[in-house]
Amino acid sequence: MELYNQYATSFLLLLVGGIVGYVIGRLDVACSHPVQPASSWLTDGKAREPERTAPVVTAPANQISIDDRTFVSKISTASMAKTQPVSLGKTTETQDDITSSISKLAQLKGK
């Protein structure tokens, strides 16, 4: 009986020592590798999502665009003076009735 008690005590001491050793070993691992590994048996092979302080919201795409057409500055011809009365352009007159063209095209365009 006494022998049995000695074996039981030794077994318990060995068990406690093993558990304490394992815990100390895990703490050491945690301290030397502060970054969580991508996979380990503790995490079942799943990578942890990084923690965020606020949820990320992506703005939806829209059709708003800036008017980037070239600006037309004021065009002044005041500095250009005619010194003699000349007319620009030669005028010619032709007999050309465009009434039918106008009405046919207006009809096609539903005007």
What is the pattern of x (binds another protein, CB under 8 A) and - over residues 1-20?
Answer: --------------------
Q: Measured between alpha carbons, how far is 91 from 17 in angstroms, rounded to an integer?
A: 115
Contact segment (CB under 8 A) with another protein among 4-12, 39-47, 54-62, 75-83 equals 75-83
Residue type, 64: I
Q: Are the CB atoms for 12 and 20 separated by under 8 Å?
A: no
Non-local CB neighbours of 48 within 8 Å, separated by 6+ positions: 36
Shortest reach from residue 41's CB to another protein, in Å:
59
Q: Which is nearer to another protein, 53 or 95 (CB)?
A: 95
Fill in the DSSP letter of residue 84: S
Q: Does residue number 99 form part of the binding site for another protein (CB under 8 A)? A: yes
Taking residue 11's Cβ as centre, other Cβ atoms within 10 Å add up to 10
Count of residues engaged in binding another protein, rule: CB under 8 A? 35
Residues that bind another protein (CB under 8 A): 69-70, 72, 75-77, 79-84, 86-102, 104-106, 108-109, 111
